[in-house]
Amino acid sequence: MVRKILVWALVVFVVWYLLTDPGGAATFVSHVLNGLKSAGRSLSTFVSKL
């Protein structure tokens, strides 16, 4: 039950954040995607060196 409440609280917070600061949310998503791209590139380099 507590976990369900925490998940809903997180969802509400994310929606609130997106509605109140869309520019900041876009920047955050951009940073996350760039991090994933960098991790993928590093993994690809590692596998190709094997």
pLDDT of 2-50, one tens digit each? Answer: 999 999 999 999 889 888 998 988 998 999 999 999 999 999 999 999 8
The upper half-sphere exposure of residue 43, i.e. CA atoms within 13 Å in the direction of its Cβ, equals 6
Maximal CA-CA distance, the chain: 47
- Please state, in angstroms and rounded to a whole number, the distance separating the CA atoms of residues 20 and 4: 24
CB contact set of 17 (below 8 Å; sequence gap of 6+)? 24, 25
Residue 30 tokens, joined: 């951009």
Q: Which residue has the tokens 């600061």?
A: 21
pLDDT at 25: 85
**Where are the domains positioned within the chain?**
22-50
